[in-house]
């Protein structure tokens, strides 16, 4: 039988495995509270977003309960949510990092090539905004920016990256961190991106998209009761970090 390549397990899954083992061994009994997110990150030698992804994975599995502002508690094992091939699901911050790399470059090029009809399409998308359906509006805006380059592969890439967020881990993170009015702020950031592209300013368009995705990270990183910094995703030069 031919050998098959072995895909390394994602870091957040390895962290989740380690925490699950400690729970099973009684290190953290049912009813106990796990150490704070920052403390876990320091002990494990990883970033806080990676710890957060691991905690969300364990909550989806029915092993933890996250109480925002109170802490993370071990609970009696619950029936896990239906997650097919959960080990292959990308973590929320992994998705945001990929989008930050790809879409900032796309926005920069879009500002160099946008025509009047392209800006009209962006304006049409922006005019459709509504809180209840903002997720799909959000997707249409980002794919419309990619569409300015006239490359269907880039449009599909941006759409598929966006669709990766439609998974139980991302949904659980949203339920803990996003305010009901977060869509309004994101919509305002879309307008800034549109304006930079319309003015043909590549540097400003790249920065506007990068800033939008950084702020998106900050919204998702409104922790479980702790102070959180965008430095977990962006380095001190303002560039996107390659790894968690």
DSSP state letters, 73-127: EE----PPP--TTGGGPPPHHHHHHHHHHHHHHHHHHHHHH--HHHHHHHHHHHH
Question: 163: buried, middle or exposed (CB in 10 Å: 19+, 13-18, 0-12)?
Answer: exposed
CATH superfamily of 89-232: GntR ligand-binding domain-like (1.20.120.530)
Architecture of the CATH domain 11-80:
Orthogonal Bundle (1.10)
Tokens of 187: 């919509």
User: Among 52, 46, 47, 10, which Cα is nearest to 34's?
Assistant: 52
Domain residue ranges of the chain, discontinuous segments joined by + = 11-80, 89-232
How far apart CA 176 and CA 56 sit, in angstroms, is: 10
Please provide residue 114's backbone torsions phi and psi, each rounded to the nearest 5 degrees.
Answer: -65, 135
What tokens appear for 26 in the block? 């009684």
Which H helix or E strand runs over 71?
A: strand 71-74
Do the domains spanning 11-80 and 89-232 agree at the CATH topology level? no
* Per-position pLDDT tens, the chain of length 244: 454 443 445 788 889 999 999 999 999 999 999 998 889 989 988 888 888 888 988 988 889 998 877 889 999 987 755 444 455 567 777 788 899 999 999 999 999 999 999 999 999 999 987 655 778 889 999 999 999 999 999 999 999 999 988 777 777 877 777 776 788 899 999 999 999 999 999 999 999 999 999 988 888 776 564 444 444 455 544 455 544 4
């Amino acid at each position: 039988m031919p050998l098959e390549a072995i895909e390394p397990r994602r870091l957040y899954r390895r962290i989740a495995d380690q925490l699950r083992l400690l729970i099973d061994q009684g290190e953290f009994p049912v009813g106990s509270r796990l150490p704070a997110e920052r403390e876990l990150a320091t002990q494990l030698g990883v970033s806080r977003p990676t710890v957060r992804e691991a905690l969300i994975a364990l909550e989806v599995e029915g092993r933890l309960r996250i109480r925002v502002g109170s802490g993370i508690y071990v609970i009696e094992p619950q029936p896990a949510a239906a997650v097919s091939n959960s080990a292959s699901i990308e973590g929320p911050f992994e998705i945001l990092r990929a989008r930050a790399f790809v879409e900032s470059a796309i926005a920069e090029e879009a500002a160099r090539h946008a025509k009047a009809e392209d800006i009209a399409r962006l304006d049409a998308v922006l005019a459709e905004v509504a809180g209840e359906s903002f997720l799909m509006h959000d997707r249409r805006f980002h794919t419309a920016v990619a569409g300015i380059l006239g490359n269907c592969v880039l449009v599909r890439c941006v759409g598929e990256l966006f669709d990766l967020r439609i998974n139980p881990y991302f949904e659980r993170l949203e339920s803990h961190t996003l305010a009901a009015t977060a869509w309004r702020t994101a919509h305002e950031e879309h307008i800034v991106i549109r304006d930079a592209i319309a003015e043909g300013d590549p540097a400003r368009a790249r920065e506007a998209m990068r800033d939008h995705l950084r702020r998106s990270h900050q919204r998702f990183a409104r922790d479980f009761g702790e102070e959180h910094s965008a430095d977990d995703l962006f380095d001190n030069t303002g560039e996107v970090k390659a790894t968690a």
